[in-house]
Structure 1
Amino acid sequence: MGVVCPSVSCRTPTLSEIQWIFFQIPHSLMGKLGRFILGKSFGSLEKAIDILCLFESEHLELSAQEIADRLSIPLSTTYKYLQVFKNKQFLSKNDQTNQFFLGLTILKLGLLAAKKTPVMKIASPYLKLLSDRSLETAILVVGDGQNAICADIIESPRAVKFMTAKGHTMPLYAGAPGKTLLAFKDPAFIDQLIETTGLAKLNKNTITDSEKLKRNLADIRRLGYSESDSEFESDVCSVAAPIFDYKGQVIASISVAGPAERIFRENKERLIDLVKESANRISSELGYGKTREEKEEYS
């Protein structure tokens, strides 16, 4: 995730937006595409998908050698996959660095998949309204395994603000957006995440004690919102609330983020109310809290 910085110095990277789009493509569709472009001539479908999944917001470009090393496959085999992906525009190549990055086909398919994601379409105007009313950066986050992904963002109009990019990943256990998603996971998932991550310390206020984290998650469920201060990024504070679908499942979180002096010291309670109101309105449009007959419209 980004940092608090002047607006004149940064802009959202195009490649990271493409990376976010990649995460919108259903695995079933990826499987069909993999069978189409690879056929039966060489390699496994699973390995092909593994190559594409290596591209993350922290690794927007990768060399053939890096891909081969990370997947423990021969370099010659790696080049065969990369050539097919390049021919079909699933990957493009930076001729100056000889590194590969996600291509236009990924972008096109992801955009089509995103159109079928109701929360993205419904949340968009509320995200803009939240940023306008709070004068802070507003973020929509969705889950991806044990991580959270920035699905959409409206930056603060202020010069000093929190910045990140679509597609940027963050852990579920650090920061208000991720913890809001984690709080509504089943206990077995939470225990597995704690075991897998070890609750590694990511910043000065990261919660590294499992029992303390579980108490915090219980508070989030009880209060209906989460807050954080320098848990994932230094001097970045955020407030987040869960978004429910018509089945009553948490499918995303909406949040505001910015420097501590503005988020927590000036208008914390107002921001909490704004974030919760935004989450409630999005959830309502997704069918949350509707009658049985009304819910049938969303199924």
Structure 2
Amino acid sequence: MEQAVTGIGVLDKAVAIIDCCAESPRSLAELVEQLGLPRATAHRIASALETHRILRRDNQSRWVVGPAVLELAAFARDPLVDAASAVLRKLRDLTGESAQLFVREDDVRVCVAASERSSGLRDTVPIGARLSMKAGSAAHVLLAWSDEKDIMHILADSAFTTRTVAGVRRRGWSASIAEREPGVASISAPVRDLRGAVVAAISISGPAERIGRSPGTRLSRPLLNAAAELERKL
């Protein structure tokens, strides 16, 4: 990645080291080779970043991104999450069911925003919950437009099949009944960025006995409208 230059030499070098270590674990020799820095300079800056917990050492003594970066990231404003709050509340009020937004991180999906029913039976998925990509309608949606290698990796021991994936692509949404958890049903649709790439899944979930065996009949239209609204906000 091309680095911006501020003219503040030590700051530019520190950011270059952080970015380099974020791409892949780096030894001192690799930092020197990759960035063209003097060995003493690379060691001094990387060690200082380690002291501040911006970098840490892995089990092979290579530098990787440290916990301070994750802690600072918690304070960052995510435009996707900011835009989702009002959309999820509206979706909850229209359908009477809990609404969530999921993003994918490798083999899990993370709930980054949610709006829960105020009363009665509900499927509570707390913000920050990490759920498997192996089950659930949000997993179907987040996987459906991936490359074939990724799809086969997830499907190897998942609760759904290639037929499920094909159905998601055809309809533009997916539903699941008691796939992730007994008694829980959900329906999800993709949220896309300006390039058309799927960046999130917007979902409605609740008790299967209330949502019914065919969630799409009642819930697909408001769900797709909510996904389109969120895309416009982005």
Normalization by structure 2: what TM-score? 0.71
Change (3 A) 1:35 1:148: farther
Counterpart of 1:62? none
Cα distance in 2, alignment partners of residues 267 and 185 from structure 1: 24
Structure 1 runs, 4 residues or longer, greater than 6 Å off:
none
Aligned partner (choices 45, 54, 57) of residue 45 of structure 1: 57
Match runs of 1:97-246 below 5 Å: 106-112=70-76, 115=77, 117-195=78-156, 198-199=157-158, 206-207=159-160, 213-246=161-194
The verdict on how the C-alpha distance between 1:35 and 1:166 changes in structure 2, with shifts beyond 3 A counting, is: farther
Preserved CA contact (<8 Å) 2:109 2:130: yes
* Equivalent residues of 1:35, 1:45 under 8 A apart: no
Indicate if the aligned counterparts of 2:102 and 2:112 stay in contact, CA closer than 8 A.
Answer: yes
Q: Which ranges in structure 2 are unaligned for 5 or more consecutive residues?
A: 1-17, 24-45
Mapped contact 1:141–1:252 kept (Cα < 8 A): yes
Q: What amino acid sits opposite 2:168 in the alignment?
A: I
Bigger shift: 267-276 or 124-133?
267-276
Give the Cα separation in 1 of the matches to 2:64 and 2:175: 36
Higher relative contact order (CA 8 A, sep 6+): 1
Distance 1:169 1:135 in 2: 24
Shift of 1:173: 2.9
Count of residue correspondences: 191
Equivalent residues in 2 for 1:267-278, closer than 5 Å: 268-278=216-226
Distance change (3 Å), C-alpha of 1:262 and 1:268: farther
Structure 1, unaligned stretches of length 5 or more?
Answer: 1-26, 53-89, 91-104, 200-205, 208-212, 287-299
Distance 2:179 2:212 in 1: 14
**What percent identity do the matched residue pairs reach?**
26
Q: How does 1:12-27 map to 2 (within 5 A)?
A: none
Deviations 1:57-87 (A, max 9, x none): xxxxxxxxxxxxxxxxxxxxxxxxxxxxxxx
SS in 2 for 1:162: coil
**Structure of higher CA gyration radius:** 2
RMSD, matched Cα: 3.1
Q: Is the 8 A contact 2:97 2:116 kept in 1?
A: yes
Which residue of the other structure, out of 231, 239, 249, is the alignment partner of 2:197? 249
